[in-house]
Amino acid sequence: MPDRIEPVWIPEPDAIARTRLHGLMLAMGCEDYESFRLACLHDPERHWREALRRIGLRFETDFDQLVDLSGGKAWPRWFPGGRFNCVAPVLARAEAADDSDDIALISETEEGEVRRFTRRAFAYGIRCMAAALKAEGIGKGDRVAMLLPNMAEAAMLPLACAYLGAVIVPLYSGFGAKPIADRVNHSGAKVLITCVAVRRNGRDIALMETVVEAAKECPGLTRILSLTREEDNASIPADPEAVWDPFAKGPIAEPPCLTEPDDPVMLIYTSGTSGRPKGTVHTHGGFPLRIAYDLAFLFDLHAGERFFWFSDMGWMIGPMAVFGPQLLGACTVLYDGGPSVPNARRLFDLAERHEVTHFGAAPTLTRAWLAADAAPAKGIADTVRVLLTAGEAVGPAAFDYLFRKVGAGSRPVINYTGGTEVSGGLLTNVLVRPIAPCLFNAVAPGVSLSLRDADGRRLPADSVEAGELAIENVFPGMTKGLWRDPATYLATYWDRFPDTWAHGDLVRRLGDYWDLIGRADDVMKIAGRRIGPSEVEACVSEVDGVVLAAAVGLPDEKSGEALHVFVVGSGPNLSDRIGGHIIRRLGKAFRPAGIHLIDDLPRTRNNKIMRRVLRQAALGDEPGDLSALANPECLQALAPLKSAF
């Protein structure tokens, strides 16, 4: 543990008083965050009732109690007795909106085409799309697969499905035919909605061709519907009936379907970075409410503000950027294109054009900005007041660049980690406490965490030993199991520790802060010491000429496991300089057994490095599920790795 952790951002008292979190703390009778956190655990129903009241979310029929645990801790029933359709508050806000300047959605394409929807126009689009889905035979409980880029209709479609009580199944827009077919078949989706093509980095990528190929293996899929856009250069599908105009029939007449909080609203598959993808089940009273809570009280998003986080609709951040802002009366900003077109400052320019207030990016994207020195000279747009990062551990160099160069040393950086399976954050930064580089300053409200050693024992609260993150309680937003696979759900999350959720992240406690080391299955044991890949990668990224780095442990006859570093970069004696820097910073025990210069690292669309793929390429093993891979062309460059071992 460092002798002293120096925060880089300290909130002023008047700034604390303006946050939504501070207002909720006072409503719970608490002056400081720790007493508030304990109060939330002591009386979770009061906590949730007050939070929902303060952000203006009401149930159509009030619930009897917060949770029914009669089925066991792994199978909670949230808000029993209540009725809640998550699109109803979105429509209610639209009815009360001043349509002249209340913007709900802004979408921009790579070519610069911008579409803006007022809150009423956005709600009208949802109702029209619900009518069009109903005409296709979609009703309560039916699954609708969505393979769309970040176009405006991709924000309307999940809410239109919720309107009918149907279940949206978001798919990553870069999937090939097999992962599409696997998920469509597994989910039992009746309809798949896509478009002809997407444009990435100046070239068209056909979606329809891939979907048609996938559909050959999907006997239960009854319809493929294609949204067309003016900028599509590819031909329209051969079947003209498949060209879908969701606005042609006008708005639906009946009100939103009456749903229970426990009814499914979304089936989203985990990225598959550690094995076979799992279909997490999210409900009307789960994911939407938890996301709205986190955006309001952790990110301090207010009505009328503008939220942008570069991602894909197939991963959790995509639906987060739809459900959260819309439930809070804020604006969702979408970008459909490559992040570096025409240059690495594209997303910063977008933030300025659209007056973004909350700007999110994965650590890998931040490292790419660092390598290109892409930040504007005076930092990001003046309107941006909160920066967000999540997805993996953020190293010191990337954090420093995000805070000092992108944020001009004045914006707080919300470091945030949780996952698809729990909807929102477990560890986070909150704006009522000082923020330190790379760390988390709080456990999220309503969450009880412990750290477990390799034998499953709880580590003492004052221990600085790294342990696996475990969730001791349950809270709204946790997945309602895995689709059609209760056994895997229990085995993955509940069977390792009695009545406790095993989350899989390796974390250590540093006084008032928490440090995410990485996924437990990525952690290496070198020279008898457990070390996370992020610690090594952060060290390597400090070397001039390094663009991207990944660290993995590989079997070694002498030591059991040896450190290997894979690097994208250039410059004189780069490997020697990296090796020397690791020894100086981390010690001789961590001298790399190999430093491998390659053209690219395997990454997901959210820019998470897929270390598993590197490890398997080096060992010559089958790569397993690659559906999350955003850059499959890198596999050819990895093929020669086996000969190096």
| Mean pLDDT of successive 10-residue stretches along the chain, which has 645 residues | 80 98 98 97 98 96 97 97 97 86 95 96 97 96 96 97 98 85 95 90 87 94 82 43 83 96 95 65 98 98 97 92 98 96 96 98 89 92 97 86 97 95 96 97 98 92 91 98 95 94 92 86 68 81 90 77 90 93 82 90 77 82 71 75 58
Q: In this predicted structure, what is the pLDDT of residue 231?
A: 43
CB-based contacts of 240: which residues, under 8 Å, 6+ apart?
none
Nearest to 77 by CA among 58, 63, 61: 63
Neighbours of 453 (CB within 10 A): 13
Tell me if 47 sits within 8 A of 289, measured CB to CB: no
pTM assigned to the model: 0.85
pLDDT (0 to 100) of residue 532: 72
Secondary structure (3-state) at 96: coil
Q: Which of 311, 437, 428 is nearest to 362 (CA)?
A: 311
Rounded to 10 degrees, the C-alpha dihedral 303/155/313/287 comes to: 60
Task: State how far the alpha carbon of 168 is from the alpha carbons of 76, 165, 266, 621, in Å.
Answer: 22, 10, 5, 35
Task: Report the DSSP pairing between strands 501-510 and 467-471.
Answer: antiparallel
Residue 281 sits at φ, ψ, to 5 deg, of -100, 120
Report the pLDDT value the prediction gives residue 1, as an integer from 0 to 100: 41
The pLDDT assigned to 645 comes to 56
pLDDT of residue 179: 84
What are φ and ψ of residue 297, in 5° steps?
-100, -20
**Neighbouring residues of 300: CB distance < 8 A, sequence distance ≥ 6:** 19, 20, 21, 386, 431
pLDDT reported for residue 614? 85
Give helix 44-54 / helix 20-27 axis angle, nearest 10°. 130
Beta-ladder partners of 109? 336
Alpha-helical segments (H) within 165-286: 177-187, 208-215
Burial of 490 (0-12, 13-18, 19+ CB in 10 A): middle
β-bridge mates for residue 389, sequence order: 415
pLDDT of residue 616: 81
